[in-house]
């Protein structure tokens, strides 16, 4: 059978399931017809009834990423373009929002914060999100973040000294991505649960594998509309596999019993959170405020699981891409090495807050990596009311999606839109750019609450790495395609040759 036929079959299954619910059918039909008439003149790839644009959508994840980037450049970046691109997932409309003015309108809104149905098992309610966002803010208090620095440094030293040194100057290739990923997992486990995972040392391997597979499944659910319906999802076995893996990971979380430890330490007083000299993990915070915020034990478990997933995948993606991209440009890597020598000399000490502030060029490289390879490939919102953008009325219930990889390549905003160019983050260049042209952590009320945490972790780990090593990637540009799963991964990993540095001091 042709690819077109293979795509049509699941779409027809989707339509049949939708038709089984009259109320859903009625609401969806109204939304589709309103979108058809209101968005008729909006540009986008060719669509046909029922199958929409699926007939030309690439089935390979990597190919799909480049197709979306091509659609962005074709339909959004030309003179007079609004940066709005329409598409149809079968019969369901979708609008890509790419220009910073419209991205701002969508992300800054306090009413347009409902995640799209495509998030499926990751979606939450507005009420739950509002309450928990306010509750979690103290976990990222300045004094609390400073305390995490010790954990960042400890785990970075494990990966840099004990694990990678054996590959340096041997001529052997090493894929750094699994090492960086396990480092980030150990960091988030200790900061989220005050529990040592020891993933870098080969412990809890089943949990590590379960987390990786869950990431694959979530992205599969997001891009496969026929799997949004339980009979189809469980009928093919994927629903049962997902539930089994979720149980495995949540059982691990439940084992981290911190309540008795807090009582024993005499810290069941939330007034101590901001000024505590002891480690306050996310789990500690929620236990200390459990009564005030009326949280059940299951509520707490859900939030810890969220931090476990979102707090390590994104940072590992960013660090992996940063190493690979810096390694592609010897002149940029030399500048990073010069900065490391200027800040640390020949000292392998734990970076202080002052040290990290001096790592200005390293931070530019990390931010430029986040521009080209943002860990979260897209954000999507289900519009809870009509929204007018550049003369188009986008109807209620339509999914509006933001593609950071596309927005970050807008030639009106970036001097070298498709090239790794750290000078994009010179202060003068930043001042000239629209603030919503760069959104690796989203923006507005639903921005990433942990972005300062992530940047501090990445600068710490990479400062250790580039103090000690020079790296030569084995896959040259423009290879190593993007794999858009739950986070953006490199198709070929971060396969490199490592060389010990002879420092200038």
Greatest CA separation for the chain:
74
The three-state secondary structure class of 108 is coil
Q: Which two tokens stand for residue 204?
A: 């809890």
DSSP state for residue 442 in the 8-state scheme: B
- Report the distance separating Cα 260 and Cα 410, nearest Å: 53
- Report the distance separating Cα 273 and Cα 275, nearest Å: 6
- Report the distance separating Cα 280 and Cα 37, nearest Å: 54
Question: In the chain, how many H helices and how many E strands?
Answer: 19, 11
| C-alpha torsion 148→150→151→152, nearest 10 | 90
What is the distance, to the nearest Å, from the Cα of residue 320 to the centroid of all Cα atoms in its chain?
13
DSSP state for residue 48 in the 8-state scheme: B
- Report the distance separating Cα 158 and Cα 373, nearest Å: 26
Q: Which helix (H) or strand (E) holds 499?
A: strand 495-500
Sign of the four-CA dihedral 355, 361, 363, 366: negative
- By the 10 Å C-beta count (0-12 exposed, 13-18 middle, 19+ buried), 22 is classed as exposed
Binding-site residue numbers for heme are: 448
- Report the distance separating Cα 69 and Cα 154, nearest Å: 39
In Å, how far are 282, 295, 299, 341, 379 from 132, measured between CA atoms? 12, 10, 10, 42, 20
Contact 362, 91 (CB under 8 A): no
Binding-site residue numbers are: 448
What is the distance, to the nearest Å, from the Cα of residue 6 to the centroid of all Cα atoms in its chain?
30
Sign of the four-CA dihedral 209, 214, 217, 219: negative
Q: Which two tokens stand for residue 447?
A: 């921005």
For tokens 């459990």, the residue is 290
What is the distance, to the nearest Å, from the Cα of residue 82 to the centroid of all Cα atoms in its chain?
26
Q: Which of 317, 334, 418 is nearest to 72 (CA)?
A: 418
DSSP state for residue 177 in the 8-state scheme: H
How many C-beta neighbours within 10 Å does residue 188 have? 29
- Report the distance separating Cα 104 and Cα 74, nearest Å: 22
Q: Which helix (H) or strand (E) holds 33?
A: helix 22-38
* Beta strand 392-394 pairing with 399-402: unpaired
Q: Which residues are registered as beta bridge partners of 471? A: 498
């Amino acid at each position: 059978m042709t690819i077109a036929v293979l795509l049509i079959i699941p779409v027809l299954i989707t339509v049949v399931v939708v038709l089984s619910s009259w109320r859903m059918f009625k609401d969806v039909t109204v939304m589709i017809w309103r979108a058809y008439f209101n968005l008729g003149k909006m540009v986008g790839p060719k669509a046909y009834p029922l199958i929409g644009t699926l007939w030309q959508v690439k089935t390979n994840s990597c190919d799909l990423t480049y197709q979306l980037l091509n659609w962005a450049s074709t339909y959004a970046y030309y003179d007079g373009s609004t940066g709005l691109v329409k598409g149809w997932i079968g019969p369901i409309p979708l609008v890509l929002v790419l220009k910073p003015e419209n991205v701002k309108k969508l992300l800054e809104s306090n009413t347009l914060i409902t995640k799209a149905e495509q998030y499926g098992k990751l979606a939450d309610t507005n009420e739950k999100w509002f309450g928990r966002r306010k509750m979690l803010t103290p976990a990222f208090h300045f004094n609390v973040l400073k305390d995490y620095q010790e954990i960042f440094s400890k785990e970075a030293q494990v990966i840099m000294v004990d694990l990678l040194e054996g590959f340096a100057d041997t001529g052997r290739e090493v894929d750094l991505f699994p090492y960086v990923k396990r480092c980030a997992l150990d960091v988030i486990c200790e900061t989220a649960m005050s529990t040592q995972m020891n993933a870098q040392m080969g412990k809890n391997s089943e949990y590590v594998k379960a987390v990786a597979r869950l990431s694959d499944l979530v992205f599969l659910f997001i891009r496969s509309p026929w799997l949004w319906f339980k009979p189809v999802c469980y009928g093919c076995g994927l629903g049962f596999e997902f539930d089994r893996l979720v149980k495995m990971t949540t059982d691990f979380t439940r084992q981290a019993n911190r309540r008795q430890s807090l009582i024993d330490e005499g810290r069941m007083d939330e007034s101590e959170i901001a000024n505590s000299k002891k480690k306050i993990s996310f789990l500690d915070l929620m236990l200390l405020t459990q009564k005030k915020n009326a949280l059940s034990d299951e509520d707490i478990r859900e939030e810890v699981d969220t931090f476990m997933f979102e707090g390590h995948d994104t940072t590992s993606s960013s660090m992996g891409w940063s190493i690979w991209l810096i390694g592609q440009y010897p002149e940029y890597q030399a500048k990073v090495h010069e900065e490391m020598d200027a800040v640390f000399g020949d000292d392998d000490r734990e970076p202080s807050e002052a040290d990290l502030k001096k790592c200005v060029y390293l931070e530019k490289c990390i931010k430029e990596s986040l521009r080209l390879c943002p860990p979260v490939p897209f954000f999507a919102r289900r519009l809870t009311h009509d929204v007018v953008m550049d003369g188009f009325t986008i109807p209620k219930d339509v999914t509006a999606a933001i593609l950071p990889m596309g927005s970050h390549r807008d030639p009106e905003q970036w001097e070298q839109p498709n090239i790794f160019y750290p000078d994009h983050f010179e202060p003068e260049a930043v001042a000239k750019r629209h603030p919503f042209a760069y959104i690796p952590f989203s923006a507005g009320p639903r921005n990433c609450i942990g972005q300062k945490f992530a940047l501090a972790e990445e600068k710490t780990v990479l400062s250790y790495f580039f103090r000690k090593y020079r790296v030569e990637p084995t896959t040259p540009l423009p290879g190593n395609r993007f794999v858009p799963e739950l986070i953006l991964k490199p198709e070929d990993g971060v396969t490199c040759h490592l060389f010990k540095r002879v420092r200038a001091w």
